[in-house]
Structure 1
């Protein structure tokens, strides 16, 4: 796959606006592991290799377990996620797939049972932000860096 263009350079003004939204999310007061959950799950749904690579590494760096990270693509089948995380994952799935799901009441009820309205707003903005990044990276074919292969002992 070949990158289509460098979107950060194509419109520095637009890129700055997206960065400002990202900065808001980072400073919003949401727990770090919830931000990782949102970014990683939405990126998996959107098939954004660049963002998946980045958010797996960030999640690992912040101490989230390999199992927690690795099972994100099949979260519904795994008991590794607690009730609050499962409600959040339900919301991320519904909001990211809005054209298909129309964000059903069941998803709203699940997230509302665990989060305040203020938190729900911040969570939904975070979902929107990662979906913007995913669309930029997938649309313009941003390439993630390739890790160096491990050397034999």
Structure 2
């Protein structure tokens, strides 16, 4: 079955999402960096089982200088020393938001120690954005293309 091509069916809405990504990228670069952003995209996509986004963001992460070992270990990030404190906090937030879990005051304070207020807003919007993309892809199932080295 051929599903709708969301880019051609609603180009105005898709332009909005693409422009949002460009703005998020600007904010991310100014606050916590592209590496954490790609890790968040990958982790949310793992949790949402979105193969299309895993393929896309694995490639993007490598282009931004991420290591293959850190990409492979991401599903078990809590059990490996490959991620620093800031990355761990961002990944924990990603999991909590993606899985609709509570953000209690203690966890918020941990985040606030590592990220300033604008960065916390950017983190939250970035995580919400990848979850939105994951859901678009789950609905319309574009062709997945993994790029082998």
Please give the TM-score of this superposition, normalised by the length of structure 2: 0.90
Q: Displacement of 1:23 after TM fit?
A: 1.0
- Between the aligned partners of 2:44 and 2:72, the Cα distance in structure 1 is 14
Partner of 2:143: 143
Secondary structure at 1:113's aligned position in 2? helix
Do residues 123 (structure 1) and 117 (structure 2) align?
Answer: no
Q: Deviations over 1:5-63 (max 9, x none)?
A: 21111111111111111111111124111111111111111111000001111111221
Task: Give the RMSD, CA atoms, in angstroms.
Answer: 1.7
In the TM superposition, 1:1-150 aligns within 5 A as 4-28=3-27, 29-30=30-31, 31-98=33-100, 101-147=101-147
Secondary structure at 1:40's aligned position in 2? helix
Contact kept, 8 Å, 1:49 with 1:144, in 2: the verdict is: yes
Contact kept, 8 Å, 1:38 with 1:92, in 2: the verdict is: yes
Contact kept, 8 Å, 2:98 with 2:131, in 1: the verdict is: yes
**Mean CA deviation greater in 105-114 or 73-82:** 105-114
Tell me how many residue pairs correspond in the alignment: 146
Q: Displacement of 1:102 after TM fit?
A: 2.5
- Between the aligned partners of 1:77 and 1:59, the Cα distance in structure 2 is 21
In structure 1, the gaps of 5 or more residues are none
